[in-house]
């Protein structure tokens, strides 16, 4: 019997079958379903070619049509539908050189990375398990489908995927699989950095991050990764109290705190991170520096964006220096007299009007920051009158 979210996706399989093609749920969604873990994306594998899928569904996005993948939109959700295929040589180790579509699912499952990911489920909820994926799920083992060296040579990212699955699932990596990872690890160098960053994000966020890190250290791949290449100790001296870090911004903030010589910007460019990750890392590292000097105070709660509160706590706990609770931060934040600088009862124009003889300049901003700070600490009431009085005694230092 199917349950959600497979039920919502079921009509897609039905529709494909109605047109006399085979279709299955496949990969991570089946694995996670059997593990009773939250299910992420639902992937579908089919004997229908991308052309045929495009003909039978009204809304299809040809995202990776050359690899046989299209996205079918259904009930406002996206489903990756990939044609059964075997891969040719991965010439540049990033993209399969050639892809051959086939109409037999067995060979499609055989090309996949790990036994636990080579599981398929049909419309009736029956599991197709050709490589003992279920027994490996039970034994909590990550094992390649067939020859490890071949699987990892086809796509070296799978080496890092093995680490991240061990971190997410708490599974050990089977010995000959790990040996194969060691043999092929040099190929990591030729991978697109974005793909590595993506897997590392998941590696650091897994519930069993210590297991993932244990394998990462044992594998010794620092020389194939930017920044770690120059600073291997960063990889081998990660704090014992490391917690699962839910975003890569937290990871970079941590690494930067551990090794301030490497700037956040260097991490960002070497690891090809988005601007969002950059902003987050900068905020978190800034908040940490402030916290170390001043402790938990209203200005910290004010300056740190609320969306980063959780990450900040995880970062502090990972550094094991302090244990503060999220609630403490929230309590302070709720008591703040203002939430943002726009809430101040005075603005730059008001200041200019108070000092008509002084030209605009950096003093305006400095003054506003000082006023803001006084208000945040409750030393100054946020009323126009009080602020103007305060200014009289603290005029801008301009000669």
Q: How far is the CB of 65 from ligand CTP (least distance, A)?
A: 17
Select the residue interacting with ligand CTP from 13, 42, 43, 318 (CB under 6 A). Answer: 43
Determine the distance from the C-alpha atom of residue 395 to the mean position of all C-alpha atoms in its chain, rounded to a whole number.
Answer: 47
Binding region for ligand CTP (CB under 6 A) out of 40-48, 301-309, 331-339, 360-368:
40-48
- Look at residue 158 and give the partner it binds from ligand CTP, Mg ion, none, a contact being a CB closer than 5 to 8 Å depending on partner kind: ligand CTP
How far is the C-alpha of 186 from the C-alpha of 107, rounded, in Å?
Answer: 28
- CA–CA separation, 320 and 74 (whole Å): 46
Run of H or E residues at 53: helix 50-56
**Number of residues lying near ligand CTP (CB under 6 A):** 12
For residue 360, the 8-state DSSP code is P
For residue 197, the partner it binds in Mg ion, ligand CTP, none, with Cβ less than 5 to 8 A by kind, is: none
Partner touching 157 among ligand CTP, Mg ion, none, CB below 5 to 8 Å by kind: ligand CTP
**Shortest distance (Å) from residue 264 CB to ligand CTP:** 26
112 marked ligand binding residue: yes
Q: What secondary structure does DSSP assign to 209-267, as a single string?
A: HHHHHHHHHHHT-GGGSTTTTT-HHHHH---TT----SSHHHHHHHHHHH-TTS-HHHH
Buried b (16+ CB within 10 A) or exposed e, 246-268: ebbbbbbbbbbbbbeebebeebb
Sort strands 77-83 and 43-46 into parallel, antiparallel or unpaired.
parallel
Residue 314 makes contact with ligand CTP by CB under 6 A: no
Nearest residue to 150 via CA among 67, 89, 102? 89
- Among 9, 12, 28, 329, the residue binding ligand CTP under the rule CB under 6 A is 28
Burial environment of residue 288 by CB neighbours within 10 A (0 to 12, 13 to 18, 19 or more): buried
Q: What is the DSSP string of 127-192?
A: EEETT-HHHHHHHTEE-BSS-HHHHHHH-THHHHHHHHHHHHH-PEEPHHHHHHHHHHGGGGGGS-
Nearest CB to Mg ion, comparing residues 29 and 371: 29
Looking at the Cβ atoms of 27 and 249, the one nearer to ligand CTP is 27
Annotated binding residue at 31? yes
Contacting positions for Mg ion (CB under 5 A): 28, 41
Provide the minimum distance between the beta carbon of 147 and Mg ion in the complex, in angstroms, as a whole number: 23
Instruction: Give the contact letters, 132-161, x = binds to ligand CTP (CB under 6 A), - = no.
Output: -----------------------x-xx---
- Of all residues in the shown chain, the one whose CB is closest to Mg ion is 28
Min separation Cβ 112 and ligand CTP, Å: 4
12 vs 301 by CB, closer to ligand CTP = 12
Q: Taking CB within 5 to 8 Å according to partner kind, which of ligand CTP, Mg ion, none is near residue 117?
A: ligand CTP
Chain centroid to Cα 167, Å, comes to 13
Measured from the CB atom, the residue of 25 and 57 that comes closer to Mg ion is 25
- Asked if residue 97 belongs to a known ligand binding site, the reply is no
89 appears as a binding residue in the annotation: no
* Closest approach of Mg ion to the CB of residue 114, in Å: 13
> Rounded distance, CA 29 to CA 45, Å?
12
- Per the annotation, binding residues for Mg(2+) are 41, 43
For the annotated binding site for CTP, the residues are 28, 31, 112, 155, 158, 161, 164
- Give the footprint of ligand CTP on this chain (CB under 6 A): 27-28, 40-41, 43, 112-113, 117-118, 155, 157-158
């Amino acid at each position: 019997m199917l349950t959600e979210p497979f039920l919502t996706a079921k009509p897609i399989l039905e529709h494909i079958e109605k047109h006399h093609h085979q279709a299955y749920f496949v990969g991570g969604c089946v694995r996670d379903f059997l593990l009773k873990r939250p299910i992420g994306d639902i992937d579908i594998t089919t004997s229908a070619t991308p052309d045929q899928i495009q003909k039978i569904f009204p809304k299809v996005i040809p995202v990776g049509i050359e690899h046989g993948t299209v996205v079918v939109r259904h009930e406002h959700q996206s489903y990756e539908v990939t044609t059964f295929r075997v891969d040719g040589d991965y010439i540049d180790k990033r993209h399969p050189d050639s892809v051959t579509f086939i109409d037999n699912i067995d060979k499609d499952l055989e090309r996949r990375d790990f036994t636990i990911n080579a599981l398929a489920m049909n419309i009736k909820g029956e599991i197709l398990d050709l490589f003992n994926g279920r027994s490996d799920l039970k034994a909590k083992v990550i094992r390649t489908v067939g020859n490890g060296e071949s699987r990892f040579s086809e796509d070296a990212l799978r080496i890092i995927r093995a680490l991240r699955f061990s971190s997410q699932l708490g599974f050990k990596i089977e010995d000959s699989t790990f040996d194969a990872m060691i043999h092929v690890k040099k190929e990591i160098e030729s991978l697109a950095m974005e793909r590595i960053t993506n897997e590392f994000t998941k590696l650091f966020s897994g519930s069993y991050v210590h297991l993932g890190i244990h394998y990462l250290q044992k594998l010794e791949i620092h020389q194939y990764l930017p920044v770690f290449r120059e600073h291997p100790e960063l990889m081998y001296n990660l704090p014992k109290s490391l917690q699962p870090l839910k975003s890569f911004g937290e990871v970079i903030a941590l690494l930067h705190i551990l090794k301030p010589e490497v700037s956040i910007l260097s991490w960002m460019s070497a690891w090809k991170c988005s601007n969002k990750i950059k902003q987050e890392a900068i905020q978190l590292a800034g908040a940490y520096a402030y916290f170390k000097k001043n402790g938990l105070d209203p200005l910290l709660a004010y300056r740190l964006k609320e969306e980063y509160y959780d990450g900040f706590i995880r970062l502090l706990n990972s550094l094991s220096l302090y244990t503060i609770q999220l609630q403490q931060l929230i309590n302070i934040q709720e008591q703040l007299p203002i939430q943002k600088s726009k809430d101040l009862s005075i603005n730059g124009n008001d200041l200019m009007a108070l000092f008509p003889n002084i030209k605009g300049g950096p003093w305006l901003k400095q003054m506003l920051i000082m006023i803001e700070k006084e208000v945040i600490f409750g030393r100054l009431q946020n009323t126009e009158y009080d602020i103007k009085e305060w200014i009289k005694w603290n005029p801008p230092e301009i000669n």
